[in-house]
Structure 1
């Protein structure tokens, strides 16, 4: 599904850099990405989403070379094939919860917001405990509720890739396990690939594989 080869990326004017010789993520696989703050976890998600371009190396999703896409292609790729849960949620505060969940479908253009899609949005909201808030604007919600809206939006179109940046960081213990269970269930059901950044090591046992970015750094230095 996702293939990284000889990936290098650095921010100018800083010592920060990412070096990954090889990393593969299969369809249906759930991968947790760990490492200290500043090690490049969020940056790696942005590279996989085509938001950032590597300095060298390649990123493939199936036969598509993400790292070679121009900006319009990358935007289309994100809308069609990537479900993203951002740390900052990236919700539109003046829209209702339901409209925020349906937003990606609307942005794609020509995507029918039919009863089937609305029903799926309802089911996702119910599974994450926010079904009673669908008509409310998101600026009236708590941080934890907004996080669950962002998860629903990422899962709505059953994308082949799910990239989640601390998707349970604002949730209480009960809801964080509920939310992660839902994300993983959807990943398996749709044979998607899931890459999740987390600092919560109590969740790591729920993933198929754990990757520590420090291991890549050590490998490069050895």
Structure 2
């Protein structure tokens, strides 16, 4: 089943007297359980595509089906509900609240769930998400007590806590060194392997895209290539060492 289906999607921005074609009739299907990397230079259209996939923006023309539902013309409130229930976001900046513990940061999306969940259930689900990313032992730590890699894994746990069908990761290793980037990519690969979750990664780094099972290259608002990939395997390291990253 296609989690994502873009059909002749176009996005045009009007800047004064100029019309900027950010996407030009894009057709794209992403199946359940795929790990897809979308790569391209600055200005290629990959960020615009991510905003549309994440229901943060609407196409000018064309159709976007998310889990079979046409979301192209939904209201702002309906899109917000879909973002909360069906999509988990991981950004380059970790976007963690600074004076809030890891588990409290992970709970945040659950505060907007309808119906409202009891506090005990929110805490249990947040702890489970931290366990999935290997950070249950850091649940009571604040962001300034965590390394960059640990903070990004807290952000991944937050993206998982509502059990979405899709994770969108926008340059998730952009603020990390190479060793910590490997740890984050290992975490994403593990999520796909264990949970079967669909992951779409936006990056300009081919070394990071190499961890995906499919690589899509975009330029000037169009798809240049779309190919399967044998994922790069992160080097193994002892679990105790990984927990410190």
TM-score by length of 1: 0.85
Summarize deviations over 1:28-82 as a string: whole Å, max 9, x none: 1010010001222222111111111111111101221121211111011011000
Note if contact 2:45-2:221 (Cα within 8 Å) is conserved in structure 1: no
**Distance in structure 2 (CA, Å) of the matches to 1:89 and 1:43:** 20
* Structure with greater strand percent: 2
Note if contact 1:42-1:197 (Cα within 8 Å) is conserved in structure 2: yes
TM-score by length of 2: 0.78
**Distance in structure 1 (CA, Å) of the matches to 2:138 and 2:167:** 24
Match of 1:36 in 2: 41
Match of 1:100 in 2: 105
Superposition deviation, residue 138 in structure 1:
2.8
Superposition deviation, residue 216 in structure 1:
5.7
Match of 1:54 in 2: 59
Note if contact 2:22-2:48 (Cα within 8 Å) is conserved in structure 1: no
Q: Are 1:204 and 2:209 matched, yes or no?
A: yes
Higher Rg of the two aligned structures: 2
* Structure with greater helix percent: 1
Aligned residue pairs total 216
Aligned alpha-carbon RMSD (Å): 2.4
Relative distance call for 1:145 and 1:218 in structure 2 (3 A) is closer
Summarize deviations over 1:90-138 as a string: whole Å, max 9, x none: 333342221111111222142344264143133135x2xx555432333
Superposition deviation, residue 151 in structure 1:
1.6
Q: Are 1:124 and 2:124 matched, yes or no?
A: no
Q: Which runs of 5+ in 2 are unaligned?
A: 225-245
